[in-house]
Structure 1
Amino acid sequence: MRPLVDGRDVCDEIWPDGVTQHWDWQQHEGRHLLTATAAAHTIALVAPECDTACCGAVWVTVRREGRYVVWTDWENTGVIGGAVPAEVRFDAEQYDAEVARLEWS
């Protein structure tokens, strides 16, 4: 699974060698990590195959803000990779539909 922002694979742009398959099993309070609620939570979008403690990761904070889902406070703690985006806003209905598709995949 690779998230697209405005049709661009942001994970590949920031950290081309990172992996995202860890999303298949990670949950936050019984929901998929990408689920957005009013309570913000931070997730690793891209991580190395070894460990985030040694090689870093790309982190983003996910929260619901009215009719939007907001990805903010991006941080690349790795020693490689490109610049992180500014705040990104998604239509909440579309976002929820995509996360629901992930949960059934």
Structure 2
Amino acid sequence: MNAYQGFSLTEVLVALLLLTTTSLTLLQQQWQTNQRLNQGLLRALALIQLDNNSERIIARQALAMVKEPFHWQKTETNSTVRLQISWPVAVIRPDCCHLQRQIVLP
């Protein structure tokens, strides 16, 4: 009777398949986490700029300059001003990349 020692080719291939699948899954999760953190950071910066310029409108001062990648849109009527700030992000939800605020003028 022959006694073989070591791993068979099938066992090695299954182990490599499991290792590769696990590594790719962890890599995808890391990428998604980075995308969400970047999106949250851009949203926080946009909210700060929106708050600052809203206060400037109430104080009747000129709007602060906006830095890239943000873009302003200002719409005025007789008694209101609507500010919208947007930024480009490649995500599935189309409503994720802009904030707006409507200010009633005294």
Structure with the bigger percentage of strand: 1
Flag whether TM exceeds 0.5 (same fold): no
The structure with the larger Rg is 2
